[in-house]
Amino acid sequence: MSAAPPGIAGFDASVARDRTHVVVRLEDQLVVGRAGAVRRVLGNELSVVPSTGSAIIDMGEVTELDAAGLAAVTAPAFAAGRRGCRVAVLPPTSGPARRFAETVGILPIGVG
């Protein structure tokens, strides 16, 4: 898999991909001020994964999460799933972001 440099779209993230798979690892704060950029990057990355491919969005290192940040991740994930792509969204592993994800109850997600 090839990798994109960290810090895409002004957000701490890394991307590893090949022709049929992509892994996006998100870090730091995923909140309203960064949600639009994250949604665009995820939308672009997932749009090139074929319907027979798969994607993992790893939010394990996200430290802060709000509703806008969650929507920035779930909207592209569900769109890729509707195209037939298998998508897994892994929740934050600690701190306030994990508590928010647990309260909302939508993560982890498996689509496709």
List, run by run, the mean pLDDT of 10-residue segments along the chain (112 residues): 52 88 95 94 94 96 96 96 96 94 90 82
28 strand-pairing partners: 62
**Domain 2-111 falls in which CATH fold?**
Transcription Regulator spoIIAA (3.30.750)
User: Which pLDDT score, from 0 to 100, does residue 89 have?
Assistant: 97
User: Which pLDDT score, from 0 to 100, does residue 5 have?
Assistant: 46
DSSP 5: P
User: Which pLDDT score, from 0 to 100, does residue 8 have?
Assistant: 54
- Asked whether 73 and 30 are in contact (CB, 8 A), the reply is yes
CA–CA separation, 92 and 75 (whole Å): 17
